[in-house]
Structure 1
Amino acid sequence: MSFHFSALALLALTLTVLLAASEASKVARLHRIAIHRSANFKRSQKAVVAERDLVQTKYGQNKTQSLSQKANGYPVEPLSNFDNYQYYGNISIGTPPQYFMVQFDTGSSNLWIPSTSCTSAGCADHQTYNQTASSSYQANGTYFSITYGTGSVSGYLAVDSVSVGGLTVASQKFGQVYTEIGTNFVDALFDGILGMGFPALAADGVVPVFQNMINQGLVANPVFSFYLRDNGSTVNYGGELILGGSDPSLYRGGLTYVPVSQPAYWQFITDSIKIGSTVVSVGDAAIADTGTSLIIAPQADFDTIAAIFSADSNGVFYCTSTKSMPDLVINIQAVEFRIPASYYVERDGSECQLLIQSINQNFWIMGDVFLGRFYTEFDVGNQRLGFAPVNGAFSLSQIGLWKILALVMAFMAGLWW
């Protein structure tokens, strides 16, 4: 009996090791980019209102133009110097590589960085691209200009190799910034922006970086995913951008998939959105946007939410605690995604502020108040999004297969004694 039990246990452990090895092999094929946030990141009423207004600039101007007619040829993409809530990580451009910190933004589709030819104050404080120092540089010369809420940048398109997470895209077209007007860019912790939206959102017919990765066969699957750790509050590790798939050890349960309803932004349709038991919206469109930290609602929906909390137009209201406040419940494909009030309400003494705001648009924008709670897979090939609750566990790649094997061997040794 003892021998029979030991044999069955050995078989079960062998199957466990094989399954773990298979999963570890899949995870090993993923390409990871650590993403960071400002060490000084702290929400305030002023910062929330400023970010809301910047999002209005980004989506408001895009909304009034067709996808092929952005401001001066490039989509509007606001920056903020309010402690830089955006997620950013490292890439390199050129041969030999020149390194830059860029914001990974699913709400835009173009890559741009400052040029050594830029003489503006903001460029002086950031890494700049030197085309003469790269043997793989190719001239393009098409003029571009990007408009911001309080300024603009302009320059010319260039072509060079771009490396992200160990993957090198050949002949990637991107923008070199030559001139900056305004102070937005001066205090930003990143050098430029790498857009991860669909090609329809890109200006001047530029193929986005990730689409080129797919076209050049650099990723195993036409998928990228974001894991935003602890709602982005960790100073040295804000999470990961994963290219080529998803890491199941970073989320709980299976992914809930929803089709992209308009492949420009990462837009999808929600079943309903509630505050507690109060239905706020039914069948509204929403956009998954890593370029903002807030949740943005249509005006009528925001008014309904504000009335629940007796909040003013900026979402500010009197409070003593968030513990008794209801969850925000977003229903997607008949699955409820719950966000506790401690995540969508910011408390400062006796005042609270909703991190749900409103701008002049008829869709929702899901920033990291949502994305920080739910692992998000951006499936380019199938034009769909996948969501699942994040867990705080380390990934298999961080645990290491050798540790799994060591535990199994220790257990097996115990069976024979």
Structure 2
Amino acid sequence: MPRFQIKSLVFLAGLIVLVGEANSTLRRIPIQKSPNFKRSHKNIVAERDFVQQKYNRQYTANGYPMEHLSNYDNFQYYGNISIGTPGQDFLVQFDTGSSNLWVPGSSCISTACQDHQVFYKNKSSTYVANGTAFSITYGTGSVSGYLSVDCVGFAGLTIQSQTFGEVTTEQGTNFVDAYFDGILGMGFPSLAVDGVTPTFQNMMQQGLVQSPVFSFFLRDNGSVTFYGGELILGGSDPSLYSGSLTYVNVVQAAYWKFQTDYIKVGSTSISTFAQAIADTGTSLIIAPQAQYDQISQLFNANSEGLFECSSTSYPDLIININGVDFKIPAKYYIIEEEDFCSLAIQSINQDFWIMGDVFLGRIYTEFDVGNQRLGFAPVNSAVGLRKAVLWRIFTLLLACGMWKLKN
């Protein structure tokens, strides 16, 4: 499906959600996955390299963080926002592992900008120039430009005077085939480049949300549908999870880092009292090297997590948080490709765990900014399937409508 049709689907789905939730105190943004999403050993290794650079930041001479970006099609969630007056629509990746918002600017002539939405500052009556230069260098490319100020809208809310990065140059091929236009970071302010106030913190300061909380309901529905779940602003929706939320305090208000009680594979203990980060911008689970080595030995996997599949059943991965076990069935952390299997658990040079989609796709997660804590509960799978079916019906109807318009 062409990218412009996908953007139309996301935008119209957002309108439908907003209409349905107009009388609710919770604001929702439908989240989509790339239509090319596919977990494979090759993609797992590619993303492992991306995560390594993301969390082992180096710095350029001007002090801007370096990150590695690769293979975005395979592991990112994105949704619709608008910038300016009248609003100019963009698809952005919602990333709890970073804190800045940036989109391409109209003066960008890079190849990656030509197939994406760009921001036209001269078309916005609320645009305010800032002009501070910014540059983020990635492992195989970079983005650079300047800071701008304008209103930002999503989920029916409008944030006034939001500072964001307006990209004028995108070097490398990282974003050429990406289905989103930019990134909206949802980490804490201490992570933000240039000391910019993140969008959600501005929402809180401007009284736009009832509670200083947002939550993610993420679903992995394969390649059949683009439905990836919901980002909910202002609280949590109990209908989307089972039981009650288990809370744990954030141990460092930068990344969303928390402490686990223990982590096991089946009955085998892997770690105790280890720290972990909840990161919606990562699809894998990343373990410290020693713990990864122990897990790989259980499956006789090589250094990249590849091993020969067995006919025997594999055990659950169990993460205990504040006394509660959260179980990840093997089919989510082991990827079968013909006769070989791959672990969707990898390792980089870090001493903490990173819980990406392999974990978050099974566990509803509340990000409580005000109390600096996280809440976890198993997702309500029945709700996810029902919403996915509705999304399929909606896309079919929209496709028929587009066909009629063209004919």
Greater shift in the superposed pair: 102-111 or 27-36: 27-36
Which of 25, 33, 50 aligns to 2:29? It is 33
Query: What is the SS of the residue equivalent to 1:187?
Result: coil
Which of 70, 73, 98 aligns to 1:83? It is 73
CA distance in 2, matches of 1:78, 1:136: 33
User: CA offsets per residue over residues 94-131 of structure 1, 9 Å max, x none?
Assistant: 00100000000000000000001001000111000011
CA distance in 1, matches of 2:345, 2:23: 35
**TM-score where L is the length of structure 1:** 0.85
Q: How does 1:172-187 map to 2 (within 5 A)?
A: 172-187=162-177
CA contact (8 A) 1:75 1:108 kept: no
CA distance in 2, matches of 1:145, 1:45: 32
Aligned residues: 367
Q: Does 1:128 align with 2:118?
A: yes
Greater shift in the superposed pair: 39-48 or 300-309: 39-48
**TM-score where L is the length of structure 2:** 0.87
Which of 85, 97, 106 aligns to 1:95? It is 85
Match of 2:371 in 1: 382
CA distance in 2, matches of 1:162, 1:394: 30
Query: What is the SS of the residue equivalent to 1:381?
Result: coil
Which of 314, 324, 346 aligns to 1:325? It is 314
Match of 1:265 in 2: 255
Distance 1:102 1:25, change over 3 A: closer
Letter in 2 for 1:237: Y
CA distance in 2, matches of 1:98, 1:75: 28
CA distance in 2, matches of 1:46, 1:212: 39
User: CA offsets per residue over residues 51-102 of structure 1, 9 Å max, x none?
Assistant: 00011011111xx66xxxx884544444333534200000000001000000
CA distance in 2, matches of 1:79, 1:235: 25
Letter in 2 for 1:105: D
User: CA offsets per residue over residues 303-327 of structure 1, 9 Å max, x none?
Assistant: 0000000000000000134x61111
CA contact (8 A) 2:276 2:354 kept: yes
CA contact (8 A) 1:75 1:202 kept: no
Match of 1:42 in 2: 38
CA contact (8 A) 1:40 1:83 kept: yes
Q: State the shift of 1:394 in Å.
A: 3.8
Match of 1:55 in 2: 51
Distance 1:254 1:234, change over 3 A: farther
Distance 1:243 1:264, change over 3 A: same
Q: How does 1:304-319 map to 2 (within 5 A)?
A: 304-319=294-309
CA contact (8 A) 1:71 1:146 kept: no
Match of 2:330 in 1: 341
Q: How does 1:7-406 map to 2 (within 5 A)?
A: 28-61=24-57, 72-81=62-71, 83-230=73-220, 235-321=225-311, 324-394=313-383
Q: State the shift of 1:149 in Å.
A: 1.5
CA contact (8 A) 1:195 1:208 kept: yes
Larger Rg: 1
Letter in 2 for 1:324: S
Distance 1:76 1:84, change over 3 A: farther
User: CA offsets per residue over residues 242-297 of structure 1, 9 Å max, x none?
Assistant: 00000000000000000000010000001111111111111111000000100000
Q: State the shift of 1:236 in Å.
A: 2.8
CA distance in 1, matches of 2:362, 2:202: 29
- Structure 1: runs of 5 or more not aligned: 1-23, 399-417
Letter in 1 for 2:56: G
Distance 1:329 1:26, change over 3 A: farther
CA distance in 1, matches of 2:28, 2:133: 33
CA contact (8 A) 1:290 1:368 kept: yes
Query: Identity percentage over the alignment?
Result: 68
Q: State the shift of 1:44 in Å.
A: 1.5
Query: What is the SS of the residue equivalent to 1:303?
Result: helix
CA distance in 2, matches of 1:285, 1:199: 20
How large is the RMSD of aligned CA atoms in angstroms? 2.0
CA contact (8 A) 1:155 1:178 kept: yes
- Structure 2: runs of 5 or more not aligned: 1-19, 388-407
Greater shift in the superposed pair: 99-108 or 311-320: 311-320
Letter in 2 for 1:138: V
Distance 1:135 1:26, change over 3 A: closer
Match of 2:3 in 1: none
Letter in 2 for 1:48: I
Greater shift in the superposed pair: 71-80 or 208-217: 71-80
Distance 1:209 1:25, change over 3 A: closer
